[in-house]
Amino acid sequence: MSKRHKVGGSPGPEGVAASGSADGAGTGVVRVRLDLAYDGAGFSGWAAQPGLRTVEGVLTAALTTVLRTPVRLTVAGRTDAGVHAVGQVVHLDVPAAAWQALPGRSRRAPEQALLTRLTGVLAREARQAWRVPDLPSTVESSSQGPGGGQDERVPTAGSTRAAGRVPRGASDVVVTAASQVGPDFDARFGALWRRYTYRISDGASLRDPRRRGHVLWTEGVLDVEAMQASALPLLGEHDFLSFCRPRQGASTVRDLRRLCWQRVEGAGADASLVTLSVEADAFCHSMVRSLVGAGLEVGRGRRPVAWPARLLAARSRRGAAPVAPPHGLTLEEVAYPDAHGLAAQARRSRVRRSLC
Coil, strand, or helix at residue 258? strand
| 150 lies in the same domain as 245 | no
d(CA 285, CA 280): 13
In whole angstroms, what is the distance from residue 327 CA to residue 243 CA? 18
pLDDT of 356 reads: 62
Judgement on whether residues 57 and 163 belong to the same structural domain of the protein: yes
Q: CA-to-CA distance for 327 and 212, rounded, in angstroms?
A: 9
Q: Please tell me whether residues 79 and 173 are part of one structural domain.
A: yes
User: Which residues touch 300 (CB under 8 Å, ≥6 apart)?
Assistant: 218, 220, 222, 223
Domain that holds residue 275: 193-339
From residue 324, alpha-carbon distances to 35, 46, 260 in Å are: 27, 18, 16
* Letter string b/e over residues 14-23, b meaning 16 or more CB atoms within 10 A of that residue's CB: bbbebbbebe
Is 335 a domain residue?
A: yes
Task: Supply the pLDDT for residue 138.
Answer: 45
Query: Is position 168 within any domain?
Result: yes
Number of domains into which the chain is organized: 2
Q: Are residues 126 and 162 in the same domain?
A: yes
What's the whole-model pTM score? 0.83
Note whether residue 118 is domain-resident.
Answer: yes
- The CATH number for 300's domain is 3.30.70.660
In a domain, 235, yes or no: yes
Q: Are residues 142 and 255 in the same domain?
A: no
| Co-location of 126 and 69 in the same domain | yes
* Judgement on whether residues 202 and 305 belong to the same structural domain of the protein: yes
CA 148 to chain centroid: 18
| CA 285, chain centre distance (Å) | 12
One domain, residues 248 and 320: yes
What is the DSSP-derived secondary structure letter of residue 274? E
Q: Distance (Å, rounded) from C-alpha 211 to C-alpha 328? A: 10
Confirm if 40 and 49 have CB atoms less than 8 A apart. Answer: no
- Among the candidates 140, 158, 181, a domain finishes at 181
Same-domain check for residues 52 and 136: yes
Residue 150 covered by a domain: yes
Among candidate residues 151, 181, 211, the one where a domain is terminated: 181
Residue 67 lies in a domain: yes
Residues 207, 297: one domain? yes
Are 108 and 218 in the same domain? no
228, part of any domain: yes
CATH of the domain at 151: 3.30.70.580
Catalytically active residues, by annotation: 80
Residues 224, 121 share a domain: no
**What are the average pLDDT values for consecutive 10-residue runs of the chain, which has 356 residues?**
47 40 59 98 96 97 97 96 98 97 94 97 91 50 37 43 58 97 96 98 91 96 98 97 86 95 92 97 95 98 97 88 96 94 84 69
15 phi-psi bin (left φ>0, alpha ψ -120 to 50, beta other): left
301 falls within a domain: yes
**Residue 156 burial class via C-beta count within 10 angstroms: exposed 0-12, middle 13-18, buried 19 and up:** middle
Q: Which of 157, 181, 205 finishes a domain?
A: 181
